[in-house]
Structures are given as structure tokens and as C-alpha cells.
Amino acid sequence: MTCIGFALGLAILHCDFAQPAVPAARLCQVMTSPVQYARTDNPRTRRRLRALNAAWRSACEGR
């Protein structure tokens, strides 16, 4: 593995694990309702959607 390949791999892993914090006002502006699952979603995607929908419910559902 080259140094560039190793650095690229670390960058991908770092970006993949980071969960960016989204301010509530921006989240409510962007999302008007919870995201629905698709038949083709894998367990990882569903886990992320559950987290996103939970954040939406806690921040925006009463607005």
C-alpha cells in the first residue's frame, strides 16, 4: 500500500465515522417530515435514518 492510499483510507474512515452536528433550526428547515425507509436500505443505512428521524422528532415535531 502506498502512502497516498493509506492516507486516503484514513480520510475515508474519519469522514465515515463523524456524525456532524446540525443545529435544530437548520434541521427543521431542511427536513419537513421523517425520512422513510426503502426496501433497498441496508442495516447501516436504517441505523443512520433512525438516528436522523429521532433528532428530527426531538427538535421539530412540535413546530
pLDDT digits (tens, 9 = 90+) for 4-61: 555 545 455 555 445 555 677 777 888 888 889 899 999 999 999 999 898 888 888 7
pLDDT for res 10: 47
In this prediction, residue 45 carries a pLDDT of 92
Residues in CB range of 2: below 8 A, 6 or more apart: none
d(CA 3, CA 23): 37
pLDDT at residue 27, rounded to an integer: 78
Residue 8's region, left for phi above 0, alpha for psi from -120 to 50, else beta, is alpha
